[in-house]
Amino acid sequence: GDSVTQMEGPVTLSEEAFLTINCTYTATGYPSLFWYVQYPGEGLQLLLKATKADDKGSNKGFEATYRKETTSFHLEKGSVQVSDSAVYFCALTGGNNFNKFYFGSGTKLNVKP
């Protein structure tokens, strides 16, 4: 069935460091891919999405490219800030089922000043 695997955390970086959080997926059909972010005490917020192969989603300096050949959707940011500290979830929907999201286990990011 459809699934998402993302790197385990926590990831601890210094401010202005480069961030990569790996995400790979398994899906039949043509899924859409998402990154959600959860700040402490808050719900899940959409960070970015990509709906077809080679699409790049971007928002707030974060980027991820939908790579069908490697079934990946890695999240990157060139220079992280303390305010980026949160839990990041990779997710997919579509494939054979457009009615629910499949989430990865989440990666906690801690950014130190």
Partner 1 sequence: EPEVTQTPSHQVTQMGQEVILRCVPISNHLYFYWYRQILGQKVEFLVSFYNNEISEKSEIFDDQFSVERPDGSNFTLKIRSTKLEDSAMYFCASSGMGQGADEQFFGPGTRLTVL
Binding stretches for partner 1 (CB under 8 A): 31-32, 34, 36, 41-46, 49, 51, 89, 91, 93-95, 97-106
Task: Give whichever of 18 and 30 is closer to partner 1, judged by the CB atom.
Answer: 30
Please, are residues 1 and 99 in contact by the beta-carbon 8 Å criterion? no
User: C-beta of 40: minimal distance to partner 1 in Å?
Assistant: 11
Task: Give whichever of 49 and 74 is closer to partner 1, judged by the CB atom.
Answer: 49
33-72: burial string, b at 16+ Cβ within 10 Å, e else: bbbbbbeeeeebeebbbbeeeeeebeeeebbbbbbeeeeb
Mapped onto helix, strand or coil, the DSSP state of residue 83 is helix
Task: Give whichever of 17 and 103 is closer to partner 1, judged by the CB atom.
Answer: 103
Altogether, the residues listed in the chain come to a count of 113
Task: Give whichever of 47 and 111 is closer to partner 1, judged by the CB atom.
Answer: 47
User: C-beta of 29: minimal distance to partner 1 in Å?
Assistant: 9
